[in-house]
Amino acid sequence: MPQIIVDYSARLAEDFDRPGFAKALHAATVEIATAKPPACKTQFRRTEDTVVGPDSEGHAVVCISIGLLAGRTQETRARLAETALELLRQYVKPAEGLALHASAEVRDLDPSYQRFDA
């Protein structure tokens, strides 16, 4: 915990500093949600196809999902989502003419959540 998943359009591959974003988001998660630094994990999933409305050209999407153990207030989750989007603006610079659609969600992990480190 936290489990962070970032889905992003393939068109952003060269324009998205993913390691820099992950490090900045981890630091923000530690500060805002009192997570432990070694517990922060981010996976990036590149998506090849993006369609926005009727168009498949000229658009890119980034969807950030942050799963935390239960117990954070709605205000904490909202602040972390807002911060994730603010950081995204710093670490993704889409090519000219490419419209970026970004979202962030912070949710509680299901009580069945289990993990192990090997």
pLDDT tens by residue, 40-65: 999 999 999 888 888 778 999 999 99
Domain annotation covers residue 14: yes
| Per-residue confidence in pLDDT tens, the chain, 118 aa | 799 999 999 999 999 999 999 999 999 999 999 999 999 999 999 999 888 888 778 999 999 999 999 999 999 999 999 999 999 999 999 989 899 999 999 999 999 988 888 8
pLDDT recorded at residue 19: 98
Q: Which domain holds residue 66?
A: 3-108
Domain annotation covers residue 7: yes
Contact status, residue 98 vs residue 59, Cβ threshold 8 Å: yes
> Whole-model pTM?
0.93
Domain annotation covers residue 113: no
Q: Where do the H-state alpha helices sit in 2-67?
A: 18-33
pLDDT recorded at residue 80: 98
Contact status, residue 42 vs residue 2, Cβ threshold 8 Å: no
Domain annotation covers residue 59: yes
- Measured CA to CA, the distance from residue 46 to residue 23 in angstroms comes to 18
pLDDT recorded at residue 117: 82
At 110, is the secondary structure helix, strand, or coil?
coil
CATH number, domain of 23, equals 3.30.429.10
pLDDT recorded at residue 23: 98
pLDDT recorded at residue 44: 98
Strand 41-47 to 3-9 pairing: parallel
- Measured CA to CA, the distance from residue 19 to residue 29 in angstroms comes to 15
